[in-house]
Amino acid sequence: MEVRKFVEAEHLFEKVLFVPVSSTVEVRRIQEKIASSLQFEFPETEEMQRAQRLCSRLTQEKNIFIILDDVWENLDFGRIGIPSSEHHKGCKILITSRSEAVCTLMDCQRKIYLPILTDEEAWTLFQNKALISDATSDTLKEIGRLISNECKGLPVAIAAVACSLKGKAETEWRVALNKLRHSKPINIERGLTDPYKCLQLSYD
C-alpha cells in the first residue's frame, strides 16, 4: 500500500492498481478486481474470454502500474489477462511475495529485499496496533514488549497479534506470550514458521 501511495503521489503512472492475490490463486477474482479498478464489467463468463478482454482493455492504457500483493506461487499472466512487456511496454508489474523462489519462477527483472523491523520499529508498530499509550500499565507494556519480540520483526505478525490483543485483559496477554513461546507448528515452509505462529495465535 505504501508503494501505491508513493507512485500515485509522484504521478509516475496514469493509473495504479492494487490487487491482493494471497495463497489461493483465484483467477476470476483477480480479473474482477482489475476490471473493477478500471471501471468495466465482463460480459463473458469463460475465464479465457475474460482474459482476452482484460488484456485488450489494459493495452488501451498508455501508462499503468499493477501491484500484485502477497503472491505465493507462480502466476500465469496470460491466463489472468495481463499483457506481457513485449506486447505493452507501458504496463509495469510489481509483485510482493514472502518467497524468493516465487520471484525467481516469475523471472522478476529486479528483486528488492525488505529487511525485518528493528526492535524499536517493531515495538512502535505493536503499540500503535494494540493501542498502548502512556496510560497503559507498566506490566502490560512489559508483556507487550516480550510479545513484540516473539514476532521477530515481521510487520504482518506484529499487526495481527497486536490487533488481536487490543483491549484484552492482562491474563490474555500472558496466555498469548506463553503460546508464542511454546507453539511448535509442523509442516510449515522454512522461513514462514514465525509469522505462522503469530497468525495462528491471532486467529485462535
83-86: long-range contacts (C-beta < 8 A, 24 or more apart)? 83/55, 83/58, 83/59
- DSSP at 107: T
CB burial of residue 165 (10 Å; 0-12, 13-18, 19+) = buried
What is the model's pLDDT at position 100?
87
pLDDT at 19: 92
Across all residues in the chain, what is the average pLDDT? 84
- What are the pLDDT digits (tens) for 64-98? 999 999 898 899 999 999 998 778 888 999 998 88
**Would the pLDDT of 115 be above 50?**
yes
204 close to 177: Cβ distance less than 8 angstroms = no
Higher pLDDT, 154 or 7: 154
- Which tens digits make up the pLDDT trace of 18-66? 998 987 889 999 999 999 999 999 998 899 999 999 999 999 999 999 9
Note the pLDDT tens digit of each residue in 133-156: 999 999 999 999 999 998 888 887
In the numeric block, which cell numbers belong to residue 198? 503469530
DSSP sequence for 133-182? -TTS-HHHHHHHHHHHHHTTT-HHHHHHHHHHHTT--HHHHHHHHHHHHH
DSSP count for the chain of H helices, then E strands: 10, 3
> C-alpha distances in angstroms, 47 versus 17, 113, 176?
20, 34, 44
**Stretch 106-121: mean pLDDT, rounded?**
89
Question: Model confidence at 160, in pLDDT bands (50, 70, 90)?
Answer: confident
